[in-house]
Amino acid sequence: MRTCPFCRRPASKRDGYDAAGRCRGDLVLENLLLRHQLAVLTRPTRQRRRVPIRPGDKLLWVLVRSLRRDWRRHLVVVTPDTVVRWHRAGWRLYWRWRSRSPGGRPRLSPDVQALIARMSLENQLWGSERIRGELLKLGIAVSNRSIRRYRWSRPARPPSQSWRTFLANHAHAIWAADLLVVQTLTFKTLYVLLFISHGRRELVHLAVTAHPTAAWVWRQVVEATPWDRRPTHLIRDRDRVYGGDFRQRAAALGIETVLTPVRAPRANAVAERVIGTLRRECLDYVIPVDERHLHAILAEYAAYYNRDRPHRTLRLETPRPQARSRAGPAPALQAIRARPVLGGLHHVYEAAAA
C-alpha cells in the first residue's frame, strides 16, 4: 500500500490522500508556499529585474528547509543554493550574538570623572595627554578617549547668522562699478561706466564717453548719488581711470571703496554679470552710430531692465517692484497689449485698460 512520504501513514482517498499519495496537509502547505512566492513577485519595487526578498522571506525558507525534505520541489523564485547561503549567514549571526562580549572597559567612577573635569577646568591650557600624565602620577590609568569624554568643555557659543544672511542684510548698502567698451559703426571705441545695486540688482547709473578720465568718473559718482542716495560700500576693480585719490574723495562722502584682487573678475561678480546681460540682450544686436546714439540705447534698455525685466535672483520680480494684478481669471488674448522695446528686440506685455 502506498504511504505518505511525510507522515508515513497508509495513503487512501478515504483518509484525505490524493492519487499521488500526498495528504491534505501537504497540499495546503504547498499551496501556501506557492502563494507566498507569488506575493513576493508582485511586490512593488523600483528595480523590476531583482526580486524584492525581505528578511522574513529568508527566515521562512530557512525554516522550511529544516522541516521539509521536499522543500526544493516548492521553491521557484530563487535557487536552493541561495536558501543554503541564507541559512549559513543566519548561523553566523546567531553565533556572533552568542559570542558577543559582555562589555568593554569598566566605566570610570564618579570621583575620577569629577577629578578629570576639575583638572580641565582649572587648567584650560592642558590637553588630554597632559591630564592623562597627571592622572598617572596619582596612580590612575585612564585613556585619552575617556578624558575627552569627561573633561570640562566650554559653553557653546550662541548661534550666529550665516554668510548668506549677512550679505542679504547688507546687500542694499553695496554698489558695484565697472567699465565696458563698445565699438561704433565707424570703429570708434566708447566707454560705458555703470553702477548697480546689490540689493535689488538695479542699474543705478549709466554714462558713456569716448575719453574717460578721473574727473569724468568722479562726476558720474556725484550724479549717481543725489539727495544722500549713496551706498556704504562700493566694489570696483583697480583700473587707473578712477584716479589715485578716488578712495579719499569717496570716503569724504561716507562711501568705503572695496578694491577687488588683481585679475579676479569673480570678486565683482554682480557687475560682471550685468555687463554680460547688456551684451547678450542689447549690444550684440545693435551697432551704435555715435556716443549720443549709444547713450539713448542704454537708457532705453536700463528702463526696461529696472521696470519690466524679471530677475531670477529676485524670484522673477523686477528691480523696481511693480504692482501686480491679483490672481484671477486670465484675460482674453485680445486684451493683452505688447509694447516693443529697442525697436522690437524685446517686448513688454500688459493687460489693456478696460
Q: pLDDT tens for residues 96-152?
A: 888 776 666 677 888 889 899 998 888 888 888 989 888 888 888 888 888 998 888
For residue 44, what are the CA distances in angstroms to 34, 60, 78? Answer: 18, 20, 18
Q: How far is CA 326 from the centre of its chain?
A: 32
82 or 294, which is more confident = 294
Residue 159 has pLDDT above 90, yes or no: no
Of 267, 279, 79, the closest CA to residue 194 belongs to 279
- Contact (Cβ atoms closer than 8 angstroms) between residue 191 and residue 208: yes
Q: Which segment, 34-43, 118-127, 183-192, 319-328, is predicted with the most confidence on average?
A: 183-192
Cell of 32: 501556501
- Contact (Cβ atoms closer than 8 angstroms) between residue 312 and residue 326: no
- Contact (Cβ atoms closer than 8 angstroms) between residue 190 and residue 289: no
R_g (Cα) of the chain, nearest Å: 41
State the average pLDDT over residues 44-68.
74
State the average pLDDT over residues 248-262.
94
Residue 18 has pLDDT above 80, yes or no: no
Instruction: Please state, rounded to an integer, the average pLDDT across all residues of the chain.
Output: 84
Q: Which residues contact 111 (CB under 8 A, 6 or more apart)?
A: none
116 or 85, which is more confident = 116
Q: Cα separation of 112 and 96, whole Å? A: 34
Residue 204 has pLDDT above 60, yes or no: yes
Of 240, 238, 236, 242, the closest CA to residue 258 belongs to 236
- Percent of the chain whose pLDDT exceeds 90: 42
Q: 3-class DSSP state for residue 119?
A: helix
Cell of 240: 587707473
Per-residue pLDDT at 82: 79
Residue 316 has pLDDT above 80, yes or no: yes
Which helix (H) or strand (E) is 291 found in, with range?
helix 291-307
State the average pLDDT over residues 284-294.
95
State the average pLDDT over residues 337-351.
90
Query: Which segment of 48-57, 222-231, 269-278, 290-299 scores lowest on mean pLDDT?
Result: 48-57
Q: Cα separation of 85 and 306, whole Å? A: 70
125 or 308, which is more confident = 308
Longest dimension (CA), the chain: 121
DSSP state of 213: -
Query: Which segment of 233-242, 326-335, 336-345 scores lowest on mean pLDDT?
Result: 326-335
Q: 3-class DSSP state for residue 17?
A: coil
Distance linking the first and last C-alpha atoms of the chain: 101
121 or 351, which is more confident = 121
pLDDT-based confidence at 294, cuts 50/70/90? very high
Which helix (H) or strand (E) is 65 found in, with range?
helix 55-67
